[in-house]
């Protein structure tokens, strides 16, 4: 076999195994679509919820009734840097982090 024939065979083998230029884009397109769907269905709503809770916590004032993650209701007595003192019963005050406050509640809900 001469050198020219060998060269032609290798070029033929390479051209048969070569993929078209657009195939890389077509292979990545489903992954990009999945990421976009996850972003709009999972990530974006979670960010909005976190922003809403953070805003609610920043707007709390002394005397507000709150619900904690543990399910306890209480009244805010004092704010510190990252902590809040909450009265859960007459003269029973606990100190918790602001992050454990789930929501502000009305008097009717917390007195039941």
Q: Model confidence over 51-61: pLDDT tens digits? A: 999 999 999 99
Q: What global pTM score does this model have? A: 0.61
> Which two structure tokens, joined as six digits, stand for 3?
């050198």
Q: What is the pLDDT of residues 34-52, one digit of tens each?
A: 999 999 999 999 999 999 9
* Per-residue model confidence as pLDDT tens digits over 74-89: 999 999 888 999 999 9
Task: Indicate the Cα dihedral angle 73, 63, 112, 68, nearest 10°.
Answer: -20
Check residue 70 and give left, alpha or beta (phi > 0: left; psi -120 to 50: alpha).
Answer: alpha
For 77, other C-beta atoms within 10 Å of its C-beta total: 14
* 20: confidence class by pLDDT, cuts 50, 70, 90: low
> What is the per-residue pLDDT for 110?
47
Q: Report long-range pairs for 93-96 (Cβ below 8 Å, ≥24 apart).
A: 96/68
């Amino acid at each position: 076999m001469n050198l020219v024939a060998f060269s032609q065979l290798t070029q033929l083998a390479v051209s048969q195994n070569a993929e078209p230029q657009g195939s890389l884009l077509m292979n990545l397109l489903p992954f990009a679509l999945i990421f976009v769907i996850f972003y709009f269905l999972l990530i974006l709503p979670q960010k909005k919820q976190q922003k809403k809770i953070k805003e609610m916590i920043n707007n709390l004032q002394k005397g507000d009734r709150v619900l904690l993650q543990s399910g306890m209701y209480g009244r805010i007595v004092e704010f510190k840097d990252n902590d809040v003192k909450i009265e859960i019963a007459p003269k029973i005050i606990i100190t918790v982090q602001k992050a454990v406050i789930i929501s502000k509640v009305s008097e009717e809900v917390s007195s039941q």
